[in-house]
Chain A
Amino acid sequence: MTDLAEKIIAGDHRSIARLITQVENNAPDAVETMKQIHPHTGQASIIGVTGVMGGGKSSLIFELALAYRTEGKKVGIIAIDPTSPFSGGALLGDRIRMTELSMDEGVFIRSMGTRGMMGGLTSSLYDVVEILDAAGMNVILIETVGVGQDEVDIVKIADTTLVVLVPGLGDSVQTIKAGLMEIADIFVVNKADKTGVEQTVAELESMLDLVNNQERRIPIVATSAKEKKGIQQLVVQIAEHQAYLKKSQTFEKRRRQRYEAELIEIIRKRLMDFIFDEKKLKTTVDCCIDQISKKELDPYSAADQILGKILK
């Protein structure tokens, strides 16, 4: 086992941080360590927190983390902010709301840029979840970027997805829209210290009334991260959802979905690496050009041969 893998399994924060950087940078060194930590994963509860911009997701995650810490659980937090499509840079400011956790040894927070990935996540997120899981975090909270209506990829990773809304987002038409509204395991109406909470909750309830075949009615929790209200109730609802997942065998199904998405992402990345490595691509292609021009080979068969080699 690599030195780094051993330290990560022992929960060493600096090693966790280093390996996350390696996977973010797509460094070849990371692969061996990732392979070695995989058998040590699978214990953490993975909770996705998504929702509109400015909905108070960071503050809510801070409050949830505090609640889990009082239960003695170790908490990993992944906070994702958008990478600029123009400069490639990112301003990662979610920690501002979590300052009080920065000296707690039972908490590990990492800010990440989306780095060109669509869907509200970042492509190395699967790896980062595995790393925090292997490092012994009991709960992993993932904050997506502020989303619109169809950035729903978080469901591929999380066991429980919280969709965070705030009062006054718009009339009831908004509440029957597709996408974001379909992925919630729990609806959170945050900023419940503001007016209009009852109306938002009522609109969500009436939307849920229209759903047929409900084996589990999606709960709605009103919270105020600012006034620290509703947090305990949210913790209870999350625990109930996870108990429901295990009872209904949905848990295993979701985990399988995550591994499927993760595997597809690794394959996608490797293919992209190959395609964007122009030098390598050119040398691979070059050897067929002669044959094609001599009519010994047609371009389609050449492509099959090359792809066969990559996929081998």
Chain B
Amino acid sequence: MVKKIRVLVAKPGLDGHDRGAKIVARALRDAGMEVVYTGLHQTAEQIVNTAMQEDVDVVGLSLLSGAHMTLFVDVAVLLKEKQMDDVLLIGGGIIPQEDVPRLKKAGIAEVFGPGTPVEEIVRYIKKNVKR
């Protein structure tokens, strides 16, 4: 039996910048994970539905527009609603430090800001993946 970590990298909302998401996606691939990338402009419903069909272990959200307090939280709420709490939810992008505690309270396990070495994200996922 060979278990591979499957990750969904998703861009919620209207922000059109996905270089960061693509770099992270590549780094996770190079760390031996299977990474599904959805492309831009996803709604929270689309992200959660995709996570369900792809049966991923991790959902990574990337957002640079400032709408994280709404969109990240929407995804967390929907995952809970669909009893997908065993999916590790993480986020990254331009997120002010003062928002991080509230995001964590809402169910986002960890937030990675600009300048985070990709190895740190890989390590975090490998250590914290729930299933």
**Interfacial residues, chain A to chain B (CB-CB below 8 A):** 13-14, 16-18, 20-21, 24-28, 83-84, 87-93, 95-96, 99, 102-103, 108-111, 113, 115
Contact = CB atoms under 8 A, between A and B. Distances in A.
Contacts of B6: 21
Contacts of B54: 17, 110-111
A87 B35 contact: no
Nearest to A90: B34
A11 to B, nearest CB: 13
A108 B37 CA distance: 16
A91 B26 contact: yes
A109 B46 CA distance: 12
Contact of B49 (A91, A96, A103, A111): A103
Interface string B43-61: 1011001101111000000
B33 to A, nearest CB: 5
B28 interface: yes
B38 A96 contact: yes
B104 interface: no
Contacts of A115: 2, 4
Contacts of B34: 83, 89-90, 92, 111, 113
Contacts of B35: 89-92
A24 B2 CA distance: 8
Main secondary structure of the interface of A (DSSP, over half): mixed
Interface of B: 1-4, 6, 25-26, 28-39, 41-43, 45-46, 49-50, 52-55
Nearest to A26: B1
Nearest to A113: B34
Given A89-B28, A89-B29, A113-B34, A95 B55 contact: no
Given A103-B49, A108-B53, A89 B30 contact: yes
A96 B42 CA distance: 10
B42 A87 contact: no
Contact of A88 (B4, B25, B39, B41): B4
Given A13-B52, A95-B50, A28 B1 contact: yes
Contacts of A17: 52-55
Contacts of B49: 102-103
Given A25-B2, A26-B2, A95 B32 contact: no
B75 to A, nearest CB: 14
Given A14-B52, A102-B49, A109-B53, 20 more contacts: A25-B1, A26-B2, A84-B29, A84-B30, A87-B30, A87-B31, A88-B4, A89-B30, A89-B32, A89-B33, A90-B35, A91-B37, A93-B36, A95-B39, A99-B46, A102-B38, A102-B46, A113-B34, A115-B2, A115-B4
Nearest to B37: A93
B29 A99 contact: no
7 contacts: A13-B52, A14-B52, A89-B28, A91-B26, A99-B38, A103-B45, A103-B46
